[in-house]
Amino acid sequence: MNPAVPAGAGRFAPSPSGDLHLGNLRTAMLAWLFARSTGRRFLVRIEDLDRVRAGAEHRQLADLAAVGLAWDAEVVHQSGRIPRYLDAIGQLRGRGLVYECYCTRREILHAPTAPHAPQGAYPGTCRNLGESERAERRRGRPAALRLRADTDHFTVRDQLHGNYTGTVDDMVLLRNDGVPAYNLAVVVDDAAQGVDQVVRGDDLLSSAPRQAYLAGLLGLHAPRYAHVPLVLNPEHRRLAKRDGAVTLAELVRHGQTADGVRDALLASLGLPAGPLEAVLPAFDPAALPREPWIYRGELAEDAALPRA
């Protein structure tokens, strides 16, 4: 192996649906710290298969750079990689592991479920339709493609959560609008980009078993996972506009600097202030907080001032 090319990579993979908030920035910094502290490259991938807001990608990348994150290869866009996702689906289809599904959300919600079926799992309505039933239903609406999974659960190992067993169901591979599904795209891309370490918010922990199972079916190695705690508002909900200044641009308007925000996020992780390179020696995954960080608006420098 060429020692100049380090093995493996970590990544941050935002959806360009809006500006990054403090939680996203904190997760991105953690992904960088995990990658760098283990000699991995750090990559950024824009997950722009849906929910794209004009200008968001540009601002997201600028904000990552402003808190001191640098990435090691050109940014990859999922929208430019559709043929790869279709290839993967074709591969599974060739093995009889794909079927057409005509269900609406409503039908899925109201379908009777098997007594022991895990909550939220696809009830299998279209799994065993005969050819004539299929032809009939095809006339109604375009089909989505689903995986014919041969298990209902799978276990992944997570660096912060230990062994985690979660639901695997007949997940959607191709949506009925022709767009490849998130679970498929993520698996294909992580493998293609040499990503062997996935650090992301723990709201995605329950997706990891599906993704790792799918990776196995495609003959790919599942990455190492670390699902990190989120930043939440005082009501324990995800940060949103109503929580005041939660993006870098908003905080700068309230008197903060990018370095100040970076240092506050580091402090919330029990880490010293400073450029990220300088923080690396102090980074220890085992010492990370396991609980969400409750953000009460304290980073808006003028938060305590009376409103004009």
Residue 130: how many other CB atoms lie within 10 Å = 8
Ramachandran class of 274: left when φ > 0, alpha when ψ lies in -120 to 50, beta otherwise: left
Among 21, 40, 200, 210, contact with ligand GLU (rule: CB under 6 A): 200
Q: How far is the CB of 14 from ligand GLU (least distance, A)?
A: 5
Residues 6+ apart with CB under 8 A from 179: 49, 50
**Residue ranges in 27-86 that form contacts with ligand GLU under rule CB under 6 A:** 47
Q: How far is the CB of 27 from ligand GLU (least distance, A)?
A: 8
C-beta closer to ligand GLU: residue 62 or 143: 62
- The conformation of residue 238, written as its DSSP 8-state character, comes to B
> Rule CB under 6 A: is residue 15 a binding residue for ligand GLU?
yes
> Rule CB under 6 A: is residue 251 a binding residue for ligand GLU?
no
Total of chain residues touching ligand GLU, rule CB under 6 A: 7
Q: Which two tokens stand for residue 234?
A: 């005082």
User: Terminus-to-terminus CA distance in the chain, angstroms?
Assistant: 63
Give the SS3 label for residue 147: strand
> Rule CB under 6 A: is residue 14 a binding residue for ligand GLU?
yes
Among 33, 35, 181, 186, contact with ligand GLU (rule: CB under 6 A): 186
Catalytic, out of 241, 270, 273, 275:
241
Would you say 256 and 274 are in contact if contact means Cβ atoms under 8 Å apart? Answer: no
Q: How far is the CB of 204 from ligand GLU (least distance, A)?
A: 6
Is 21 designated active site? no
Q: How many CA atoms lie within 13 A of 288 on its CB side?
A: 25
Q: State the catalytic residues.
A: 241
Q: Enumerate binding residues for ligand GLU (CB under 6 A).
A: 13-15, 47, 186, 200, 204
